[in-house]
Amino acid sequence: MSDKQQLSVIEHIKVKSHGLRGTLKESLTDEITGAVREDDHALIKFHGMYEQDDRDLREERAAKKLDKLYSFMLRLRIPGGLITPEQWIATHHIAGQYSTGVIKITTRQTVQLHGILKGNIKPTLQSFSKAALDSIAACGDVNRNVACASHPHQSRIHAQIHAYADKISTLLLPKTRAFYEIWLDDEQIEAYSEVDPLYQDSYLPRKFKIGIAIPPNNEVDVLTNDLGLIAIIENEELKGFNIAIGGGLSATHGNANTYPRLATVIGFTDT
C-alpha cells in the first residue's frame, strides 16, 4: 500500500483508529446526540453494529426541533448458527429489554436486533456477554460470521465439522481488545500494544465470508462465499475439504467491475 492517496476515507479511519477504538468511548458520553461521532460510524461496524435512523420520522422530528431518531442494529457472532437453549432464552429477554423486541435470524445464521439506543448498547452487550455471546466482527471489513451446515446433532461428522466453523471464527477475530474495553469496561491496554499479524492496522478492504457445506446438502450456498469449504467424507470419516474461492453476491450499482459470481473450486486439503 505505497500509494495512500488512492485510499478511501474509511481506510484512513481504520488505520488511525488505535485498534478499532477511535473515539467510541467519547461518542458514548456525547449526551446531546443519539448518534456516534462521524469517524466512529465506520468503526462501530467492526463491533457488530450499524447506526440507523428512522427515515419516516425525519420530517416530523425536524419540525419539532428534535434530532433524527438514531438507533443501532446489533448482529451477534454465532459461528454455524449454533446457540444453546439458555443463550436463546437470554437473547429473547435482552431483545425485549433493549431493542424493538423483534429477533431477526439472518441468512448467515446469526441474530440481529434493531432499535437499540446509544445509551443501551453497553447494557445490551454486557447482558450478551453474561450469556457467552458477543458481536465482535459481525459487521465491518473482517471475516464475518462463519456459516456452516447447521445441525451439529445430525451426525458425528456434523459436530466435528461444526467445530471447524468455531475454530475459524476464533482464529480470524481481530486481535484488538477494543470490544472488551469499550463495551464491557475491561481495563484499557496501555498504548494499544496488540499486534495483529493478519489484519494489521487496515483490516480488510471489504467484508470476507466463509461457508462450510456438507454434501449432499448445500444450505449455506457455499459457492457464494469468498471462501467455501466443501467437506469430503468417505466411509463416515472426514477426509478433508474441497476449497472454493472468489464467490460473492455483491455488486455496486453502476460499477461494471463488480458483479456476482460463483466461487471456483481450486483444490483439496486434508484434515
Partner 1 sequence: MLEEARVKQLKELLKAFTKEELVWLNGYTAGVMCGETAFTNDNLQKVVSKPLVQKITIAYGTETGNSKKLATEFAAKAKKNGMVVKLNALDQYRLTDLTKEEYFLVLISTHGDGEAPAAAKKFYDYVHETTTKISNLKYSVLALGDTSYPLYCQTGEDVDKQLETLGATRIAPLQKCDVDYEEDANKWFTQVLHALNTTAHVAQVGQIAEVAAVVKKTTGKKTYIGEVITNINLNASGSNKQTHHIEIVAEDLDYLPGDSIGIVPQNPTAVVEEIIALTGVDANKFIEFKKESRPIIDLLTNKINIHYLLENTIKKYAAIIQQDIPIVRMDLLDLIKIYPVKDAAQFEEVLAILNPIPPRLYTISSSPAAHSGEVHITVVKDVFKVNEKQKFGLCSNYLSYFSQGASMSFFVQPNKRFKLPESFKDIIMIGPGTGIAPFRSFVAERDATGATGRNWLFFGEEYFTTDFLYQTEWQNYYNTGVLTKISLAFSGDHKDDLQVHHKMLQQAQELFEWIKAGAYLYVCGEKEKMSVNVENTLLQIIAEQGKLSEIDAHKFLESLEEEGRYEKDVY
57 binds partner 1 per the rule CB under 8 A: yes
211 binds partner 1 per the rule CB under 8 A: no
Q: Mention every residue, 6+ apart, whose C-beta is less than 8 A from residue 92.
A: 103
Instruction: Identify whether the C-beta of residue 77 lies closer than 8 Å to the C-beta of residue 125.
Output: no
67 binds partner 1 per the rule CB under 8 A: yes
- The region of 58-66, 89-97, 163-171, 228-236 touching partner 1 under the rule CB under 8 A is 58-66
- The region of 43-51, 54-62, 148-156, 190-198 touching partner 1 under the rule CB under 8 A is 54-62
253 binds partner 1 per the rule CB under 8 A: no
Q: Residue 264 phi/psi, 5° resolution?
A: -105, 130
* Dist. CA 59–CA 47, nearest whole Å: 30
* Dist. CA 225–CA 243, nearest whole Å: 11
Q: Which is nearer to partner 1, 11 or 67 (CB)?
A: 67
* Dist. CA 135–CA 173, nearest whole Å: 11
117 binds partner 1 per the rule CB under 8 A: yes
CA atoms within 13 A on the CB side of 18: 15
Of 140-159, binders to partner 1 (CB under 8 A) are none
Positive or negative: CA dihedral 74, 77, 83, 86: negative
Q: Which of 33, 100, 217, 264 binds partner 1 (CB under 8 A)?
A: 33
- The footprint of partner 1 on this chain (CB under 8 A) covers a number of residues equal to 20
Of 71-100, binders to partner 1 (CB under 8 A) are none
59 binds partner 1 per the rule CB under 8 A: yes
Q: Which long-range contacts (CB under 8 A, 24 or more apart) does 2-10 make?
A: 10/42, 10/141
Q: Which is nearer to partner 1, 29 or 107 (CB)?
A: 29
Q: In the bound complex, what is the minimum distance in angstroms from residue 144's beta carbon to partner 1?
A: 25
Q: Which of 85, 197, 254, 267 binds partner 1 (CB under 8 A)?
A: 254
Q: Residue 75 phi/psi, 5° resolution?
A: -120, 135
- Report the SS3 class of residue 148: strand
- The region of 33-41, 154-162, 186-194, 198-206 touching partner 1 under the rule CB under 8 A is 33-41
Beta bridge partners of 211: 147, 228
Q: Applying CB under 8 A, which residues contact partner 1?
A: 31-34, 38, 57-67, 69, 117, 119, 254
